[in-house]
A and B are shown apart, each in its own frame.
Chain A
Amino acid sequence: MFGLESGIVLAVIGAALAVLLAGIGSAIGVGTVGQAAAGVVSEDPDKFGSTLILQALPGTQGIYGLLVGFLILLRIGFIGGSPVALTVEQGWSFFFAALPIAIGGLISAIYQGKTAVSGVYLVAKRAEESGKAIIFAVMVETYAVLALLMSIMMLFGVRV
C-alpha cells in the first residue's frame, strides 16, 4: 500500500525527509537568530559581522540534510545513472539512514537557533565576547554532526 512495498519509493521518501526536516529546522533557527540580530544591528550597525556568523550557525543542518538526501539519490541512481532496482529491505535501510540527520537536524537547528539568539544578546552587550557566543552555539552543532555522521555511515553500509 502507498508504494511502501517498493524499495525505491522508500529510499526517495527518506531522501525527501532528510532535506525537508533538517531544512525546516535550519529555516526556523536561522530565522529566529536573524530577527534578534536585526534588532541589535539597528542599534549598532558595526555588529553586523559577528551577528551574521551567529545567524549562519544553525544553517548547517539544512546543508547536512541536503547532503544526505543527495547521497541517497546518488546511491539509488537517480542522479548520474539509471535507477537501481531496490528490495524493500534496502529501501527501508535507506529510509532509516536518513532519519538521524532528518530528526537530529530538525531539533538541533531549532535549539542552536535559540542558543545563537542568546549569543546575539551577549554580543549586543559585550561585543568583544563574540567568540564565546559562537562556542556556545557550536556546542549544539555537535549533535547535528554526530547525526550526520551516523546517517552517512548507515548509507554507505547499505549494499546495493
Chain B
Amino acid sequence: MGIARMKKVYLLAHQADKERVLSALQQAGLLEINEITGTEEAADWVTLLARDQEQQALQELEGRLAEVKFNLDFLNRYHPVRKGLLDDFLAEKKSFTAGEMEQLATGWADASSKVFAAAKAIEEKLLQMRNEETRLQNLKQQLLPWRRLPVPLEELHSTPAVKIELFTLPVNAADKFRAELAETDAAYALEQVENLRGEIYFVLVAHHSDVETVRDVLKRFDYVRHTFPELTGLVDELLAGLEEDLQKLAARQEEVRQNIAELAQYREQLLYYLDYLTVLREKKQAVENLGRTVSTFALEGWVREADEERLQQLLSAVSDSVVLVTREPEPGEAFPVQLENKPLFAPFEFVTKLYGAPSPYGIDPTAAFAPFFIIFYGIALTDAAYGLVLVLLSVLGLMKIKGENMRRLLKILFGCGISTIVFGWLIGGWLGYQVLGAPLYFDAINDPMRLLIYSLALGIIHIFWGMMLKLIHLVRQRQYFAAFADVILWYGLIIGLLLLIVPAVARFGKYLAIASAVGLILTQGRAQSSIIKKFFSGVLSLYNITSYLSDILSYSRLLALGLATGVVSLTVNTMAGLLKGNPIGYVAMIVILAGGHVFNLAINALGAFIHSSRLQYIEFYNQFYEGGGKYFNPFRMQTRHLDIRPEGLPDK
C-alpha cells in the first residue's frame, strides 16, 4: 500500500559478464540504473573508476535506427496505412521470447537494408520522373497556343529574304500595334495564330530591309518573343508526341508505385526491428551510467525491496561472480517513487500520475481519493442511462484493448459508470426522462438547493478526510505536536464555525471556534524567531480560513455540472419533441435525440472526469499532498509494436 519501499543497489561484476548481466536486468525490469556516484562513506572509490561507454556500438545502432526510421517514413509517405482512431489501442502486439527475437532480428536487418536500398533508388527515380514531368508539362504549355501553325517549326527560321518572328502581345495592345505597323512603309505579313488568356499569338514575316522599322514599332509594345530552336516538325504532332511521353511517364510512375507497394509487405518487420534496435540502444545507453576498471564494472541503482530476492536470484543465475550489495535509503535520501495499491485502487494511479509523483516521504493519495473520485463523477454526470452507456463501453473496451494504461482508464470509467447509474437513479433521470417514475430520492433540477447543500457537505467530508491523512502521517512520524497544532486545531475551528449554523449547539460551536482560534494564534507562528513575529504569524494564519472556505465552495461545481447534463438532456428532448407529428418529423426527431444525447454524454463525461480530477488535485491535495518525487523507472524493454517475453527469470 502506498509508496513502495526501495533499496539502494551496488553491483560489481566482471566486464566479461557485462553483456549478459545487462541483458538479464533489461529483461527483468526490476532495477533502476542511476549514474554511479558511490556511497557516502566511500565516495573516493568512484574516482578509481573510469566512466564506461560504448560509443562505437551506440553510433552504429543510431545509424541502423536512422535507416529503419527512414524506411518507415518512406512507406508512410508513399504507401500510408489507413487506420482508425482506435486502431492503435486495439492492435494486438505480436509476442516473442528474447531468444526468438535475436534469431528473427537478422532477418529483420536484411529486410531493412533491402528496403533502404530500394527506397533510396526509388526516391531518386521518382525525383527524376518529377523533373521530367515538369519539363514536359512546361513544354506542352509553351507549345499549346501555337498548335494551329500549319508549318513545321524548323521552317520558321529566317530565309535570306525574310525574317520570321513568333511573339505575343496583350489583347488590348494588339489593334494599336496593327495600326501602327500599317502606318510604316515596311513590307510584312502579320498572322494571328491564337487568342488565349489575354494574349494574342502572332507570326510576323518581314523583309530583311524592313526588320529595323518593324522592330522599332514592336519595342513600343509589351511583347514577348517565342523561339523553339531545338524543335522540329508540326506543333500539332509535337504535342501528340508530348502527350504520349507523359502517358509513358505516368505508366512508369505507376510501376514504381507498384514497387513501393511490394516493399510495404516489410512494414511489420521494420516496426519490429525498430523496437528491437530501440531496446538495444537503451542497453548501450545504460552502459554510460556504469563505472569500469580494466576487467570489472560497477553499477548503482534502486530496486523495490520486494524484488530484492528475485534480483539476487536472477544475477546468481547469470554468473557466480556478481557481487550485489543493498542498503536502506539514508534518512532524507530521495528514492524513486513506485505506487503500490490493491487491485481495486490500482487503476486510479492513472489519475495520480496525471498530476505528478508524490514525494518519496509523502503520502500516496490514490486509494484515499478513489471512492470520492467515483462519487464526484457520478454526481457531475447524474444520468442513469449515460452511466449505463459508460459501463457498457468500458466493458467492451476491456474485452478488446490490451494497453495497460488504457485499461486502467477503462476500469476507472467502469466504476464511474456504476456511480453515475446510482446517482442518476437517485437524483437525476434516464436520458433526461424520469422513465422509472420520479428519481428515487429527489429531483435535482427542481430542488437544486438541496443538491448544493449535499455537494458542499461532501466537500467538507472530502477536505476533512484530506486533513485526516495529514494527521495520520504526522502521527506516524511521531510529530504529535504538529498533528495537534496543524490539524486538530483547524478541525476545531472549522467544526466550531459550522456548528454556529445549528441553533441548538451554536453556543458550543462559538466556544470551540474561539478556543481553536486562540490555539492557532499561539501555535502557527512557532517557526518564527521572536515573540512578536510568532504572534503576528499566528494571527495571520487565521486568514487561512478563507482558503478552507473557497475550497469547500468549489464543490458547488458538482451541482452545476449535474444540472448541466440534466438540462441539456431536457433541451434535446424538448427540441426533438417539437418535431413529432409527421414521418419526416419523426426521422428528424430521432436524429436530434441520438445526436444530442451522444454529444451531451461525450462533453459531460469528459467534463465530469476533469472536474472530478481537479477536486482531487486542488482541493484535496491542498490538505496534505507533498509533491516533487520522481517515478521509479526501471531499466527494461520498452516496445511499441511487439511484446518481448523474458526468459529464464526466477518466478515471483
Q: Measuring CB to CB, which residues of chain A are less than 8 angstroms from any residue of chain B?
A: 48-49, 53, 56-57, 59-60, 63-64, 66-67, 70-71, 74, 79-80, 131-132, 134-135, 138-139, 141-142, 145-146, 148-149, 152-153, 156
Contacts and interface: CB of A to CB of B under 8 A. Distances in A.
Given A49-B85, A56-B603, A145-B561, A138 B571 contact: no
B91 interface: no
B564 interface: yes
A41 B384 CA distance: 36
A64 B564 contact: yes
**Which interface class (under 10, 10 to 19, 20 to 34, 35 or more) fits B?**
20 to 34
A60 B567 contact: no
Nearest to B611: A138
B560 A79 contact: no
Contact of B559 (A134, A138, A139, A149): A149
Interface in B80-96: 85
Interface of B: 85, 353-356, 448-449, 452, 554, 556-557, 559-561, 563-564, 567-568, 570-571, 574, 577, 603, 606-607, 610-611, 613-614, 617-618
A152 B574 CA distance: 19
Contact of B610 (A48, A135, A156): A135
A74 B559 CA distance: 20
Given A145-B560, A149-B559, A67 B567 contact: yes
A138 B354 CA distance: 14
A142 B557 contact: yes
A131 B448 contact: no
B554 A135 contact: no
Nearest to A148: B560
A145 B557 contact: yes
A134 B606 CA distance: 11
Given A60-B603, A70-B571, A142-B557, A148 B614 contact: no
5 contacts: A131-B354, A134-B610, A145-B556, A148-B564, A156-B449
A138 B556 contact: no
A63 B602 CA distance: 13
A64 B617 CA distance: 24
A70 B610 contact: no
The residue among B85, B556, B557, B560 with the most chain A CB atoms within 10 A of its own CB is B560
A48 B570 CA distance: 31
Contact of B603 (A48, A59, A138, A145): A59
Given A71-B567, A79-B574, A142-B614, 6 more contacts: A56-B606, A80-B574, A131-B354, A141-B611, A145-B561, A153-B449
A152 B568 contact: no
A62 B563 CA distance: 15
A49 B568 CA distance: 25
A74 B446 CA distance: 13
